[in-house]
Amino acid sequence: MNTGRDSHTASILTNEKVLVSGGAGSSGYLTSAELYDPSTGTWTVTGNMNTGRYYHTASILTNGKVLVSGGQGASTYLTSAELYDPSTGTWTATGNMNTGRYYHTASILTNGKVLVSGGQGTSTYLTSAELYDPSTGTWTATGNMNTGRRYHTASILTNGKVLVSGGQGSSGYLTSAELYDPSTGTWTVTGNMNTGRNSHTASILTNGKVLVSGGYGTSTYLTSAELYDLSTGTWTATGNMNTGRQYHTASILTNGKVLVSGGQGSSGYLTSAELYDPSTGTWAATANMNKARLVHTASILTNGTVLVSGGIGTSGTSTSVELY
């Protein structure tokens, strides 16, 4: 990449290029964005965002534009949101969120609206959630979650509901999970995970179950993984990872396996990667990355390869990129 960055976002555009935006770098909170072209393997600078931000979210709208929301900026939790237009390579401000937040989640609902949930606000773990309507460019408050949380995950289930799980709240590392129903705008508590965790990953498997992996729990980097079954609303332990890790990535490959890469573990920043096989419920080590990294991004390209970009490495914020 042209700029070293961590805690950024990566979005696969309809033209198959990958848009990387914002994050933290050596100069502070970044406004810069760049495009990866899989056909040439090169990066090109594109238009700057209006506001430098990290730990924001990026959502690809049905019209092909990318909505970036919130995050941390210069001395503040951001309410601002902006849109990237791939046809012009420029960013335009859109409506502000009602609440400044970072470490939140953003989910594109089946109706095309974007649900933003929780995160860290001013001196509080947020229960609030809000909806972005691309047709009006405005945000509207929706039902509050039952538990304030940050560093959680959000997964869009096959029935259109959104499963939020874990994270950090006022009581510590959370086991709780809840479901958002877009038809009613309300949250309902569902089964608890077996282990409280934050900074984990959540992957929707081809069988519709949700695999939650790793993260940080009570004084430990977690190797544990568990499966959420939508039909029963319960969690079941599955095979442990070989290495405990947080701030990693998880990518669903074309063969249905899940690739977990990098992160932070008890030995420091990780190069290791491993594969989860849903048919056996077990993890197997795969080739190590060339560079250790955490708070990086992983994007599945149209040819099935995985593009890993940036993050924090042993020499600080990284420009390096590799393909699996």
Q: How far apart are CA 76 and CA 55, in angstroms?
A: 12
Q: Are 247 and 261 in contact (CB under 8 A)?
A: no
- Return the pLDDT at 75: 84
Measured distance CA(77)–CA(69) in Å, rounded = 11
Q: Please tell me what DSSP assigns to residue 193.
A: P
Q: HSE (CB half, 13 Å, CA atoms) of 57? A: 28
Q: Are 276 and 260 in contact (CB under 8 A)?
A: yes
Q: Model confidence over 169-190: pLDDT tens digits?
A: 999 999 999 999 999 999 999 9
Instruction: Report percent pLDDT > 70 for the chain.
Output: 100
Residue 108 confidence class, pLDDT cut points 50, 70, 90: very high
| Ranges of each domain in the chain | 1-144
Q: What is the pLDDT of residues 237-258, one digit of tens each?
A: 999 999 999 999 999 999 999 9
To the nearest whole percent, how much of the chain has pLDDT over 90? 99
Hey, is 289 helix, strand or coil? coil
- Pair of tokens at residue 208: 């519709």
- How far is residue 129 from each of residues 22, 99, 164, 235, measured CA to CA in Å? 23, 9, 12, 24
**Mean pLDDT, residues 291-314:** 98
Residue pLDDT, tens place only, 72-105: 999 899 999 999 999 999 999 999 999 999 999 9
Cα 315 → chain centroid: 24
Average pLDDT over residues 11-38: 97
pLDDT at 70 > cutoff 90: yes
323-to-38, 163, 258, 295 alpha-carbon distances in Å: 10, 30, 15, 17
Our measurement of the distance from residue 270's CA atom to the centroid of its chain's CA atoms, rounded to an integer in Å, reads: 19
pLDDT for 123 = 86
DSSP per-residue string spanning 231-288: TTTEEEEEPPPSS--BS-EEEE-TTS-EEEE--EETTEE---EEEEETTTTEEEEEPP
Q: Please say whether the beta carbons of 259 and 273 come within 8 A.
A: yes
- The model's pLDDT over 116-165, given as tens digits with 9 standing for 90+, comes to 999 999 989 999 999 999 999 999 999 999 999 999 999 999 999 999 99
Query: What is the reported pLDDT for 220?
Result: 96
CATH number of 1-144: 2.120.10.80
pLDDT category, 36, cuts 50, 70, 90? very high
CB 53 within 8 A of CB 67: no
Is pTM beyond 0.75 here?
Answer: yes
